[in-house]
Amino acid sequence: MFIVDEFLNVLSYHEDPRERRYDCRIQKNRTSLPPLIERTVVGLLRRRLDGRTTDSPLTAAPNASIVVRAIPLTGSGAAWVILVERLRLRRHLQALAQRFGLSSREREVLGLIAKGATNSEIARTLNIAESTAIFHVKRLLAKTNSRNRTELVSKAVG
| Of 110, 157, 156, 103, residue with least CA distance to 133 | 110
- Mean pLDDT value of segment 84-98: 71
Residues 77 and 7 in one domain: yes
Average pLDDT, the chain: 80
Question: How many structural domains does the chain have?
Answer: 2
Top pLDDT among 10 and 156 is at 10
Q: Do 77 and 35 belong together in one domain?
A: yes
Q: How far apart are CA 145 and CA 143, in angstroms?
A: 6
User: Which residues form the domain of 52?
Assistant: 2-86
Residues 67 and 21 in one domain: yes
**Tens digit of pLDDT for each residue in 128-141?**
999 999 999 999 99
- 119/112 Cα distance (integer angstroms): 9
Instruction: Check whether residue 60 and residue 130 sit in a common domain.
Output: no
The per-type count for the chain, helices as H runs and strands as E runs, is 6, 5
